[in-house]
Structure 1
């Protein structure tokens, strides 16, 4: 499975991140240990939602969409 996930910082209000992984638990642990340069300043993180895809390309496309302007508006309305 391939997961597109949305996480929110518990220490810094308003900080969010959208990512893609094959191992959700391991990836969240990496974010929370400071192992990701994009999220290390805002640890700890919590998962807000995740979406599983059997097809990797669909997961990549969905992550890309959520990072676009219209995808950000969609995710603010539906997921955050």
Structure 2
């Protein structure tokens, strides 16, 4: 989960290389995030497969309550 230091908006996505992906976001290569630069890493979760990552991303994006998303990361991820 990323947070825009400009707007406070949050972004949830999935990748196999966290560092490289954050660099791409902050370089403006990602269309959906380029207008809210810079971004910082708030939390992440590691899963076994790409398929699991896609399912988890969808689950987290369906959670409309930010507090609920943070609780999920606190319980299962790294903040």
State if a TM-score over 0.5 links the two structures.
yes
Moved over 6 A (4+): none
Equivalent residue number for residue 13 of structure 2? 19
1 or 2, which has the higher strand percentage?
A: 1
**Secondary structure class of the residue paired with 1:36:** coil
Aligned length: 71
Question: What value does the CA root-mean-square deviation take over the aligned residues?
Answer: 1.6
Normalising by structure 1, what TM-score?
Answer: 0.80
Residue 72 in structure 1 maps to residue 67 in structure 2: no
Gaps of 5+ in 2: 74-78
TM-score by length of 2: 0.81
Q: Deviations over 1:22-72 (max 9, x none)?
A: 11000000000011000000110000000011122111111000111xx23
The aligned runs of 1:1-80 (5 Å cut-off) are: 6-13=1-8, 15-68=9-62, 71-73=63-65, 74-75=68-69, 77-78=70-71, 79=73
